[in-house]
C-alpha cells in the first residue's frame, strides 16, 4: 500500500527513508598537477571536522596522497575524490581516475602481509602496500564511472578513521565500507 494522508508510511518505509537521509557522498574534482595537494586538503578538512585525531588524519593524508599520485602517474583524467559520509561521519574515501583498467591493483591490496618484501631501493611499487598497511587492510579497487563525465573509470578506496568509532583491524568490509553492490555508485 502506498502512503497517503489516510495511510501513513509503515515502520519499514520510515527506516528505509532514514537510512537514505543519513548517507551522502562528497565529490571533489582533482586537477592534474595538484591532485595530491587537493586530495590531502579534502581528507584533512572532513576528518578534522569529524573530530578524528591528528595522527589518524596524518595517516589518511598519506594514503590519499599516494592514491592521487598513482592516478596522475598511471591513470588518466578526469580525477576525483569521493568521501562517503554515513550519519554525518566520513567513513570511506575513493580516489577515481578515468582509466578503467584495474590491472594488478586489487591483487596488491588484498595480498597477505607475509608476502610483502618490497625492494627498499625500488622507486615504484611500495605505495599500494603502504595504503594497505595504513588502512589496516580496509582498502579495495573496483570499476566505477566518473561523476564529472559518467565515463568508465576505476576507484581505489580505503576506510577513513572515524574517531571514537575506529576501524577494526583486519576487517576488510567493516562499518563504513560500502557493500560490493554499492561500490562505484555516486548518490
Residue 121 pLDDT more than 50? no
According to the model, what pLDDT value does residue 56 have?
A: 96
What residues does each domain of the chain span?
A: 24-159
* Reported pTM: 0.74
Question: Quick one: pLDDT band at residue 118, thresholds 50, 70, 90?
Answer: low
Select the highest-mean-pLDDT range: 12-26, 93-107, 112-126, 162-176.
93-107
CATH of segment(s) 24-159 = 3.30.565.10
143 touches 157 (CB < 8 A): no
Could you give the CA distance from residue 76 to residue 92 in angstroms, rounded to a whole number?
Answer: 22
CA-to-CA dists, residue 181 to 52, 138, 143, 178, angstroms: 28, 17, 11, 8
pLDDT tens per residue across span 140-185: 999 999 998 999 999 999 999 987 644 433 334 443 445 444 545 4
Residue 131 pLDDT more than 90? yes
Amino acid at each position: 500500500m502506498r502512503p497517503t494522508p489516510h495511510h501513513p508510511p509503515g515502520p519499514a518505509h520510515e527506516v528505509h527513508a532514514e537510512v537514505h537521509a543519513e548517507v551522502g557522498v562528497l565529490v571533489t574534482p582533482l586537477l592534474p598537477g595538484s591532485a595530491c595537494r587537493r586530495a590531502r586538503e579534502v581528507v584533512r578538512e572532513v576528518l578534522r571536522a569529524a573530530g578524528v585525531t591528528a595522527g589518524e588524519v596524518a595517516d589518511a593524508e598519506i594514503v590519499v596522497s599516494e592514491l592521487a599520485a598513482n592516478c596522475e602517474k598511471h591513470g588518466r583524467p578526469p580525477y576525483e575524490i569521493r568521501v562517503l559520509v554515513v550519519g554525518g561521519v566520513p567513513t570511506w574515501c575513493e580516489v577515481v581516475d578515468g582509466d578503467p583498467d584495474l590491472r594488478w591493483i586489487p591483487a596488491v591490496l588484498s595480498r597477505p602481509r607475509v608476502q610483502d618484501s618490497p625492494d627498499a631501493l625500488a622507486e615504484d611499487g611500495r605505495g599500494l602496500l603502504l595504503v594497505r598497511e595504513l588502512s589496516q587492510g580496509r582498502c579495495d579497487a573496483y570499476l566505477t564511472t566518473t561523476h564529472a563525465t559518467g565515463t568508465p573509470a576505476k576507484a581505489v578506496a580505503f576506510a577513513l578513521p572515524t574517531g571514537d568509532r575506529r576501524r577494526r583491524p583486519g576487517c576488510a568490509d567493516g562499518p563504513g565500507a560500502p557493500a560490493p553492490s554499492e561500490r562505484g555508485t555516486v548518490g
